[in-house]
Structure 1
Amino acid sequence: MGGFTLDDILATRKPRDSWWTVFAVDPVACRLALLTANHTSITPNGLTGLSMLLGVASAACFAAGELAAGAALFYLSFTVDCMDGKIARLKGSGTSFGLWLDYVGDRVRVAGCAFGFAFGEGALWALWLAAGIVVLDLFRYVNGPQLLRVREASRDRVRAATGGDPVFVEDVLLADPLADVRDGSVVDLQSAFRRRFPWFDRFRLFLARHRVRTHLMSGIEFHAAIFVVAPLFGAAAMLWSALATGALLTAFEAALVYRTWLAAREADRVVPERVKVLV
């Protein structure tokens, strides 16, 4: 049906993604997406629906106490979920409704598997664990957009004060690390953070070269640890994995809030001259 190549599929990947997706999912998802694009007419929304069905099957396995089968189906569900965006970008067939469907599908998979596991265990601690997983999952996906709003508000304030065009810090660092900062043509809204953590730019560059984002414990790694890796070692491993990765997820979210606060504070001190702005 199509003459797409693997390079075409690889070009549809996100510029930066979670390390779990980059190393454990994309190598499989890209090849499955190539087969799907060339030999089927399934739409991105159809793939999202298939991912949701696999997620429900995973939840059913957790409820039945079949933890390894639940883990395998959760991984497969997420892999198919990673295919829909690639197909949409490859064929230009994405829809606005698909964005909503993709978001809801993720939440259904996590909540279903968490409470499916609690049902299978039949214990109060498992129910509390499931509730905690769902709350942390929702917090992560609510906090991210809100921090983005704060960052955009800071950018708008700087743009109004300077008339410059804001650029993302990763773009400048990848082109020539801190060159514009050194020559004074950029107002760096992360300068306060950089002074406190001078090693961070080198770390970010290293990850960016491997297409990995700096948020190393995001919702994706949180889900993978609890529902893909831990089930292979039993119910107790799922408990301790949820506690450990939940703490790490909270710590990384707190770090994002801290960086955003420093950038917003720096935005209030920008000088009124026409410059490019680093945010």
Structure 2
Amino acid sequence: MGGFTLDDILATRKPRDSWWTVFMVDPLACRLALLVANHTSITPNALTRLSMLIGFASAAAFTEGMLVAGAVLFYLSFTVDCMDGKIARLKGTGTPFGLWLDYVGDRVRVVCCAFGWGFGEYTRTGDTDVVLAAVGVVVLDLFRYINGPQLKRVKDATRALLETRLEGQYVLAESVLRSRPRSELEQAAAEFEQTAEDTGATVVDLQKAFHARFPWYDRFRVFLVRHRVRTHVVSGIEFHAAVFVVAPLFGAAALVPVAAVAGTLLLTFEMFLVYRVWLASRQVPRTAAEREKILV
């Protein structure tokens, strides 16, 4: 049906993604997406629905105590979920409703799988800790996906305020640096300003205060960016992988401790994000009038 190549599929990947997706899922998802693109007419929304069905099968397996089967099915569900966006970007067959379906499908899958292994293990062992762990997983997942959009609102408001003060003529330092270290920021900014001389855009560094406090972080950032990995090392994706793939493979005894450790790491990195956004928001000088105009 199509003459797509693996390079075509690779070009549809996100510029940066979670390390679990980059190293553990994309190598398989890209090759499966190539088969789907060339030999079927399956739409991205159909792949999303298939991902949800496999997720329900994973939850059923967890409920029946088949932890390894549940882990494998959850991994396959996430793999298919990673394919829908690639097919949408490759063929241009995505729909606006698909964004909602993908988002809600992820949340439903997590809730079903969490209560699947939580109450499934409780009925077999009577251990209430596993039920509490399941509830904790759901609460943390909801917190993660509430916190993300709220942080985005703060970022957007900060940039809107910056745009007002600089009359729209600016570019963020991270956009100029990309995979270059911060030691080259002045050079990168000078190169940018030469090429953008007509616009008069100014390079603005909203992360200056953060990097002053954590100078080692830039080396870590550069390493991850060069490997297409985002700096939010433990996100919802890694959390789900730990709870629904790694822990079940080690048996029922691993469910609670792995969920506890993964949850702690998730919260730590979420608070790290909040701190970075807070510092960035303080980099923009503000007046009362501007706050009323932009932030309310």
Scaled by the length of structure 2, the TM-score of the pair is 0.87
Aligned-pair identity (%): 69
User: Displacement, 1:181?
Assistant: 7.9
Runs of 4+ with >2 A deviation = 164-171, 174-177, 179-187
> Is structure 2 residue 164 aligned with structure 1 residue 160?
yes
The answer to whether the 8 Å contact 2:173/2:189 transfers is no
Gaps of 5+ in 2: 194-201, 288-296
CA distance in 2, matches of 1:115, 1:99: 25
1:35 maps to what in 2?
A: 35
> Is structure 2 residue 61 aligned with structure 1 residue 61?
yes
CA distance in 2, matches of 1:135, 1:74: 19
1:276 maps to what in 2?
A: none
The answer to whether the 8 Å contact 2:173/2:203 transfers is no
2:199 maps to what in 1?
A: none
The answer to whether the 8 Å contact 1:16/1:213 transfers is yes
CA distance in 2, matches of 1:31, 1:259: 36
User: Displacement, 1:202?
Assistant: 2.1
> Is structure 2 residue 107 aligned with structure 1 residue 100?
no
2:197 maps to what in 1?
A: none
- Deviation digits for residues 46-90 of structure 1 (CA, Å, limit 9, x no counterpart): 000000000000000000000000000000000000000000000
CA distance in 2, matches of 1:47, 1:265: 43
Number of equivalenced pairs: 270
User: Displacement, 1:180?
Assistant: 5.8
- 2:140 aligns with one of 112, 136, 140: 136
Indicate the SS of the match to 2:204. strand
CA distance in 1, matches of 2:146, 2:154: 13
- Deviation digits for residues 200-252 of structure 1 (CA, Å, limit 9, x no counterpart): 22211110010000000000000001111111111121111110010000000
2:220 maps to what in 1?
A: 203
The answer to whether the 8 Å contact 1:44/1:85 transfers is yes
Tell me: CA distance 1:6–1:246, structure 2 relative to 1, closer, same or farther (3 Å).
Answer: same
Gaps of 5+ in 1: 271-279
1:275 maps to what in 2?
A: none
1:249 maps to what in 2?
A: 266
- Deviation digits for residues 143-167 of structure 1 (CA, Å, limit 9, x no counterpart): 0111011011011101100124443
The answer to whether the 8 Å contact 2:171/2:204 transfers is no
User: Displacement, 1:95?
Assistant: 0.6
1:113 maps to what in 2?
A: 113
Scaled by the length of structure 1, the TM-score of the pair is 0.93
Question: Given residue 273 of structure 2, which amino acid in structure 1 is its aligned partner?
Answer: L
